[in-house]
Each structure stands twice: as structure tokens, then as C-alpha cells.
A = this chain, B = another copy of it.
Amino acid sequence: MATIDDVARLAGVSTATVSRALRGLREVSGPTRTRVLEAAARLGYVASPSASRLAGGKTRSIAVVVPRITRWFFATAVEAVERTLHEAGYDLLLYNLGGREGARRRLVHQAASLHKRVDAMMLMATPLQPEDIDVVAGLPLPGITVSSGTPVTGWPSVRIDDVAAAATATRHLLALGHRRIAHISGDPTDELPFTTHLDRRAGYELALREAGLEPDPARYAEAPFTIAGGSHATTELLGRGMPPTAIFAACDEMAMGAMAVLRQTGLRVPEDVSVVGIDDHDAAAAVGLTTVAQPAAEQGRLAARTLLEPLCLGTELVPTTTVLPTMLVIRQSTSVPRAREGER
């Protein structure tokens, strides 16, 4: 393995000059730089990250924490983050809580250790206890939160307005004439106290009340934010009798699960039951799902850039909250309710 000394010797300069030339610092003359680059190339030299981290104090890597990498939103956002980071020469350390409270605790516990291995951290929809927030905010490390989840004092945040997105979805159903609108969301079995479903439920109830309807707990069912979760919640809902004419699912994965169960039960979508979700999942167009689109990749990209800027430019990280727009995308899973059709 070639070291910086080998390159210095071959190029006939000091290691300081090699270091400067290779990093593109401009206090190096053209000819010298050329000699160094040639020597480095000849030896196949690559600086040791451990050594430069120790000497330079920068790790050029970022920790990204997600609840579950298997869910569409996080996988899509992480993909964008990964690309942005690697293009900037940064490494991505992945931490997947996997819905385990133990993993969350370990993460907070390790915070002190984490800050020695990364230059910044990105928390996606990560729930934190009040005492954790202080620990995390107290790290000598810039950070950002993405999507809902606990805000961290002094950290910027990139997200959508979950209450508004949910209200938009619900208002769409109301405008079509639906009154018996169910909502599937949340995850009672989850060890971690996520908050996304709370905001979305609030938006649903807000829209109902605007329309003069009182939210009915019997029209609410909980399950994980997955296709299977949507199926379970819908099955539970149907089991209560008096089926809804429409279902607002807190995310597209749940909406797809709902559509599957409805059809297996012999109910047509949208003729018998309309379904709307939130996300604009890759598959939403394929299955004809009406949804409130949110820019997942864009949130990841933006968050990564926000973190990278102060790291690369040495500027201050400004704790701004960026709320990205959502948009209703009407496809084939929603229509006027049957009763209403009859009226015409």
C-alpha cells in the first residue's frame, strides 16, 4: 500500500505539498501539482480515510436514521440522499430502527460515539423522547430532521404539511359526496411513538368537521404503514358492519392493501368504495390509486444538500423549516358514492 511518503519521495516534494495538491488546494503551483498527481497515479495512491480523519477532524460521512428502510418513503428518500452524498464524496452510514424501541435507545445512547464517526446526521421520521432531544440537540454536530417526527431544537427540517395533505385527501372524498368516510392509519403495535399518523388523523378530522361531520371512532382502524397493514385495518373496518363508502388511507401502501381486501370481499373500487392515499408511491399509477403526492426523493435530496452546504463551505447551518408542497392526483380509485349516483 502506497502512503503519502511514497508519493512525496517519487514526486520530490514534501508530504505537505502532496496533501495540498491532492486535495486541490490552490496554494500549489501548476508544475508541482502535475508532478504530484502523476506520482500518485503511478503508485495507485489513495489517502487513508482514517488518517485524514484523525488529522483533519472531518469524517466526510453522514449518518442517516430511518424507521424502516423497507417502506416506500424512506427507501425513496434514502436513495436520493445516497446519490447526493456520494456525488459530494461523502459516505452514508445507514441506521435502520426497524420499529424496535431498543434500536432507538441504542442510537441515542451511542450519540456520543456517533458524533465521532460522522460530520452530521439526518433523522427521518424518528420519534424522540423529550430527554433524547436534549441529548441529540446537544451534540457538537449539525443535524436535520426529515418528514414528521420529533423536531430537534436548532436543527433545520424538511417535510410536508401532513395535516394539510390529509385534509386535502379527505376533502376530495367529501367533494365527491361521500359522508361515510373511514380512515386507516397509525400503528398501535409499534414500539416507537411515531407521530405521522397523528397529524394525518388530525387533517382527516379537520376536513370532516369543516363539512359539519363529527369524526366517528368506529370509522378509524389502525395497523402498520404497509400493504399488509392496510389489508388488516380494512378487514377490521369491514368486520364492524355498515361499510364506509370511502376510505382515506394514511399512506399509499395502506391504500393498496385496502384495495386488495375490498376486491377480495367482492366490493368494487371505486363503484362500491372509493380509496385515497398519501404519497404517490411508484405503484400508485399502475394500480390507478388516487392520492396526495408528496416528493419523497426531493425531500431526501434537499435535506442532504442542506447538510452538505455548511460542511463544504464552512458556513453556518441555518435552522429553517422547509415545507414542500403536496398535490392531489386523481386517478381511478375514487368516484361519487353509489347512493349519490342513484340521486342523479
Contacts and interface: CB of A to CB of B under 8 A. Distances in A.
A98 B79 contact: yes
Interface string A59-76: 101001000111010011
Contact of A116 (B50, B61, B227): B50
A75 B69 contact: yes
Interface in A55-109: 59, 61, 64, 68-70, 72, 75-76, 78-79, 82-83, 86, 91-96, 98, 103, 106
A113 B263 CA distance: 53
B231 A257 contact: no
B117 A91 contact: yes
Chain A contact residues: helix, strand, loop or mixed: helix
B256 A48 contact: no
Contacts of A142: none
B228 A282 contact: yes
Tallying the copies of this chain within the complex gives: 2
A230 interface: yes
A147 interface: no
Contact of A44 (B94, B95, B112): B112
B116 A230 contact: no
A285 B228 contact: yes
A261 B282 contact: no
A16 interface: no
Nearest to A285: B228
Contacts of A61: 93
A106 B116 CA distance: 27
A75 B98 CA distance: 11
A51 B54 contact: yes
A96 B69 contact: no
B282 A70 contact: yes
A283 B228 CA distance: 5
B117 A226 contact: no
B263 A286 contact: no
Contacts of A44: 112
A48 B51 CA distance: 12
B282 A227 contact: yes
Contacts of A72: 70
A210 to B, nearest CB: 33
A339 interface: no
Nearest to A227: B283
A78 B82 CA distance: 14
A198 interface: no
A47 to B, nearest CB: 8
Nearest to A283: B227
A76 B70 CA distance: 6
A264 interface: yes
A224 B117 CA distance: 37
22 contacts: A46-B116, A49-B113, A50-B50, A51-B54, A54-B54, A70-B75, A70-B282, A78-B94, A79-B98, A82-B98, A83-B96, A91-B93, A93-B93, A93-B94, A227-B282, A256-B287, A257-B283, A257-B286, A257-B287, A260-B286, A260-B288, A261-B286
Given A46-B113, A68-B79, A228-B282, 12 more contacts: A50-B54, A53-B53, A69-B78, A75-B75, A82-B95, A83-B96, A83-B103, A230-B286, A231-B285, A231-B286, A257-B287, A260-B286
